[in-house]
Amino acid sequence: MNSQEKANKLSLVKGKESFIGSQKLYYGAAYYPEVWPEAEIDKDIIRMRDLKMNVMRIGEFSWSRMEPTEGNYDFKWLHAIIEKLHKNGIDVILGTPTATPPVWLAEKHPEIFQINEQGIQLSHGARRNCSYSSKIYREYCEKICSKMAQEFGNEPGLIGWQTDNEFSLAPDYSQETRQIWIDWLKNRYKSIENLNHLWCTDLWSQTYQKFEQIQMPTSFVNNHPSLKLAWTRFTNDMIVQFQDIQINAIRKFSKLPITHDGMPGQPVDYEKLFKNLDFAAINNYHSFEAYDLIQSNYDRLRGFQKGFHWLFETAPNYSGGGQTWYLHQIPGSMKAALWMNYASGGQGAMFWLWRQHRSGQEMTHGSILSAWGEETANYQEIKELGQELQKSSSFLMNNPVSKADVAILYSHDSQNGLQIEEYANGIKYYKDWTYRFYRAAADAYLIRDVIYPSADLSQYKMLFIPLLPIISEEFNIRLKHWVEQGGTLILGPMSGYRDEEWSQHVNHFMGNAEDWMGIYTKSVIPIGTTRRAEEIPFMLNFNPNLDIQKSEASLWSLSLWSPNGKTLANYEGGAHNNKPAIIENSVGKGKVVVLGTDPGKPALKKLLLKYASETGILPLARGDESVVVVPRKGNEQGFVIVNLTKYPRKITLNSGSKNFENILTGEKVISPDLSLKPFEVLVLKTNK
């Protein structure tokens, strides 16, 4: 290894174009060599090389091998495996084993396990069943992480760390956690009088005289919404604290970058969780029917602004725990799923898992090799993907995803709030956010980042905020300033109507935001995700200049008004008949568009394209939907294109060039009009 390669492996270059390890695409799997005879490892490596794999993720569940008895560490086996992999050109990402404590720790300290809301204490034999807030467990986790970092911090072939495994919002009801909860409430609200005021606890005779009276909410009590939301925030903070202990322990002895393998759609607040991490990673398990749902997750990873992201887990064929879920049944679909990640700015992807478990949990999960050592049914397709990534590595790593001028906002805090109070019956944040709103922008082929409220807004020209009930005062001020400086804000539906404690504003429906936007709410009527046949539909008539066909309102209906704004759509039918549903208003150098309802994807898509055009943003393409189109730009430029469907698709690139080379095949492409086969992938480099 030369000095430059060493520098790359020992540091993470900061900025949007940063990468981990070497400047190349990575491709591999989760590997559990601790459960197989040593003689099998050499056979495994031969197959890994055959598939062109160059990274393995190991160690995440092997605490009992690393520390078989308290204070007696055994890392020789792990050193030997990392060394063997490294000699064969395969790098390693090492996981901390804190999701699965060893039995000696369970026997010595059974109090580390969660107590569930029924008062039952969990026990040894599963994963993620310990209390994130347990002082004793935190101490033992810090020890093992420190020992690992001392042992492997400068290990050749190691390129990064993973904390724990798939944190989940599993609360603990122990007395230890209860005291921490009370202290958390005191720190947040300062006085019991302030909490009573913010939560309006006079209602239902809920007034507290002291913080110690506040219970830990459970699913079988209809607790106060503000209490429930505070509890999810508290539990998230316990996870972040637990992870920060590991991060700090590792960083004392290792400069290698650290991440966590998040799961999309979970209520864990990744805005908080990823703040102190070095790069972003995710686990995606999905059938080919849900590829259009999954696409948003890669835009979300890119929105963290932590450089090239990683896909840490996905199934090579099918997924399963106690049951099986079929994923990539159609030839070519598995490659398309992986290419969606690399196209959108991914540096690496790893299958779960390398070899099917021979016993224990998750034996039914798909893998690259069976438990008896045979190749899986789509082994050749996996091999083809490795070859394609080798061909594309230099182009993709030297030409990152082009800058996005459009951002769509996602919020786990609002997701948790909507689980407490639907308002629109049947709403599921992740799916409704994606299919109703994200897909309208994606299928309009507007290059976009998915961001969180803490993100820097200044780099974007247009911001779309759907399903954000909570707009904090701090974020409200930043939004106002951003719009006044020339930004175009499309707000709603179901945004801004709750304060930070999940209480109702009393000055306006959307609080202080209505005053600076100059758009006001007269009344609200919930509609829900589906309309019953007996109900009267709320239809929308659009301004004729927009060329948008009449559509049906969904989720809810706000009756809007504005002294100076321009009405874009009115309701037809129902209690809001002839009332404004969508209004645009100028604010400083910018403008705000308030969506008083969900107008439906076709109408929303046209509205997004209208305001993108007015803002000077050109869509990447036009034509059939559900195609990933991602521009790449560095010293060279081009596009990565993935058909996400089992149907042929036709699109036309809005490109100044009509002359491309398909890096995967070496063929020339001399037209921006593209006909794509089902699940086809193109890596197009622009020819000068």
Q: Assess contact for 593 and 568: CB atoms under 8 A.
A: yes
Q: Which residue has the tokens 């002294």?
A: 563
In the chain the first and final C-alpha atoms are separated, in Å, by 35
H or E element in which residue 464 lies: strand 462-465
Paired tokens of 412 = 């786990």
Contacting residues for 644 by C-beta, under 8 A, at least 6 apart: 291, 292, 295, 336, 340, 626, 627, 628, 679
The reply to whether 584 belongs to the active site is no
SS3 state of residue 357 = coil
SS3 state of residue 99 = coil
- Choosing from 166, 384, 625, 636, the catalytic residue is 166
Q: What is the 3-state secondary structure (H, E, C) of 608-677?
A: HHHHHHHCCCCCCEEECCCEEEEEEECCCEEEEEEECCCCCEEEEECCCCCCEEECCCCCEECCCEEEEC
Q: Which residue has the tokens 């049914």?
A: 377
Question: What is the bridge-based pairing of β-strands 555-561 and 520-528?
Answer: antiparallel
Q: What is the 3-state secondary structure (H, E, C) of 190-211?
A: CCHHHHHHHHCCCHHHCCCCCH
The span from the CA of 500 to the CA of 472, in Å, is 6
Question: How many angstroms separate the most distant Cα atoms in the chain?
Answer: 78
Contacting residues for 520 by C-beta, under 8 A, at least 6 apart: 508, 509, 514, 560, 561, 562
The reply to whether 5 belongs to the active site is no
Residue 355, CA distances (Å) to 30, 63, 227, 352, 571 in order: 9, 20, 45, 9, 57
Paired tokens of 50 = 């055959």
Report which DSSP code applies to 166: -
**Which residues are 638's β-sheet partners?**
632, 685
Binning the chain into helix, strand and coil, the percentages to the nearest 5 are 35, 25, 45
- Rounded to 5 degrees, φ, ψ at 236 are -60, -40
- Choosing from 155, 313, 572, 680, the catalytic residue is 313
Catalytic residues: 166, 313
